[in-house]
Amino acid sequence: MSAKIYRANFECFVKYNKASFPDAFEINGRIQVPSDKFVVSRNKQGIPISRYGDDVWDFRFYRLAGDSGSARINFEFAQKSYRNEAKWLAFLLIYCAESSVNYGISIATIMNYMKSVRRLIGYASSQSRSIATLLSEKKHLDEFISTLETRTLLTGFSSLVGHLAHIPSDISGYKISSLYSSFLAREKSKELPVDFQHPVIPPRLLSSLISDLEMFLNEILASIDNLIGFTKNIIHDPLFARCDSKQRQLGVQRRGMAPFFYEASSIYGLGELLFKYSVSNIPGLSKFLTRIQHACRIYIHIYTGMRHSECLSLKNNALVIEKMMGRNVYKVFGDTSKFVGQKKRVAWVTSKEVVKAFEIAQKISILICSQCDILQDDAPLFISVSYLRFTGANIDLNAPLIIQKHANKDQEIFNFFPSEPYAIEDSDFEHLVAIDPFRTWHKEKAFQLGSVWRFTTHQLRRTLAFYVSQSANVSIPALKSQLKHISREMTLYYCNASACISEFDHDEHISHLMREIKPESDAHAYLAVVADRTEPLFGTYGRFVDRNVTERESEGLLLNDRKELVSRFKKGELAYKETPLGACMTTSPCDKKLLRLVSACISCDKAIIKTSKLERVIARQKVLVDELKSKDDSSIALRTELSELEDLESYQRRIALLKNKEV
């Protein structure tokens, strides 16, 4: 029988310049466990890092950029009598498991499978049974499944059993009783409570975060060159900015000492800035740079909707400004592998606002790269500050690059912001209830009144999609202004345009989330109009709503029929779009936009018109007419805009008459 050769599942994810492949596994049709010398990982020079017989397998060189989880398997979790079983299970997953998408299996996915392996080994040892016995007898498998208490563990074990069942038993040595156990695990996971969605951040809180980040980044941007110069001087001069005792240790007498930290920072015009943020020594400077990186990353998250791992994978040259139809379009290019099956080059449309965050992060990255001989263009945007060695850490420059993941809360920018503006208020809580009235918010500790909001990147992603897909959901003027540009760009490229679709084409891209969440967002905006009884609605559709939906019915619609309403928006039976005069409910293409007249909405049978908005439009139209009169009182433009003003004022008078009749 001819030998069959298996290669590691993660090889398709690896760039040749980052690492060399591990050994290939050759099987002659029977169980053949590798020798202890079999190489399971190598560095980029081809030197073995881990062998099969080692108790720790290090796969960091094969990890995708931006992956935030561990990439080292430590088999000491298993008792010695079960350690070989654990290694064999891990090896089968790495070499013999078949990916459902035919692209191999990434290290991050393999590490997730190892959680199930750990539980399986732990259970087998507690029952004094072999893994082979446990997997081959349905009774034992079912008993093990009953010990798995979370959805993650159940789905993970279901995948593990599925992989093992598809590996021939004469290779694995395991005869899986049936795929019923995999099915049972999936069914049990469905019985568990559904995981809550990440909340949409209330507008007031998001606006506060954006404002605080903008102020901080603008402050840093004004001083970034001086900060880089100051840091370089510290790196190259072993005495500069060091304390008295440190310089004495280096044999320097008092008269010959270099300036201490505060004096040294003042030379670069940084005294006031560093004093403001309590940076008083070199380790403090390291933490300060780390928090600056975090501020840049959170700002990029806000304006792109990227995942945590996607943002961490960015390179220094990720931001690209393209000219399209005479205007700048800002794109961030990076890699993703989440739910795609392989590493994929994708783009995120963003706003010019992120330029300052990129510029700051780039300069810090270039500074760090200069200390470890990394090519600047190919360098990670968020490379770890630990390479500066300001905290005494011993860094191996031959090991995989360390990305600054901000796993420690002490490294986050939020430490520089006062907590009071982020305490949850009544209006914030009401916003959460309005978006998801079926969730028991009052029982969740994190969202109680007075609790300080804890921001996560998943929240920022869902919030951006929710607000941008329906701008009427943004109730605070400051936030609407902050999101205005990104809203226009994202809507154009993600929701309407088909150009460059390959850049955005995968199911978990923010563009897909926007299209998916838009019906929910539109329904929420519509409900807000229906439930708002502060002013009557006009326009044909507005009068229909006002006459047929009483306050009691609106409450019922909000609480009882929300799911059905969202379903109707998904099916295209209902539509909602904010307009200068109110809103539009048409489900078909608008044939009045061609006129480019706001007053065209007046005669539309799908229009909802609010008097407050009508008054604002009339006031602005008067200013425009007066400006045109001052330039040329006989121009065509003046006559057109004057006619527009007269139509709007005429409609305003009709509304006044209707109000008088109803009184």
pLDDT tens digits, one per residue of 298-324: 999 998 888 888 888 898 889 988 887
Per-residue model confidence (pLDDT) at position 228: 95
Q: Where are the alpha helices (DSSP H) in 16-106?
A: 80-95
List the chain residues with pLDDT less than 50.
339-341, 497-500, 552, 554-556, 558
Between helix 636-662 and helix 611-631 the angle, nearest 10°, is 150
From the centroid of its chain, how far is CA 36?
41
**What pLDDT digit, counting tens, does each position of 465-504 carry?**
888 777 665 665 666 666 666 666 666 555 554 444 555 5
Between helix 80-95 and helix 107-126 the angle, nearest 10°, is 150
Residue 558, both tokens: 């909000």
**Which DSSP symbol is given to 158?**
H
Give the Cα separation of 630 and 361 in Å (integer): 49
Q: Tell me, letter by letter, the H, E, C secondary structure of 424-471.
A: CCHHHHHHHHHHCCCCCHHHCHHHCCCCECCCCHHHHHHHHHHHHHCH
C-beta of residue 392 within 8 angstroms of C-beta of residue 253: no
Within a 13 Å sphere around the CA of 603, how many CA atoms are in the beta-carbon half?
9
Per-residue model confidence (pLDDT) at position 552: 47
Sequence-distant (≥ 6) Cβ neighbours of residue 184 within 8 angstroms: 142, 145
Per-residue model confidence (pLDDT) at position 185: 60
**Which DSSP symbol is given to 501?**
G
Q: What is the pTM of this model?
A: 0.74
SS3 percent helix, strand, coil of the chain, rounded to 5, is 55, 10, 35
Per-residue model confidence (pLDDT) at position 224: 97
Question: Nearest-CA neighbor of 379 among 359, 402, 411, 396?
Answer: 402
C-beta of residue 461 within 8 angstroms of C-beta of residue 510: yes
> Pairing relation of β-strands 607-610 and 39-42?
unpaired
Per-residue model confidence (pLDDT) at position 38: 95
Q: Tell me, letter by letter, the H, E, C secondary structure of 338-399.
A: CCCCCCEEEEEEECCCHHHHHHHHHHHHHHHHCCCCCCCCCCECCECHHHHCCCCCCCCCCC
**Which DSSP symbol is given to 142?**
H
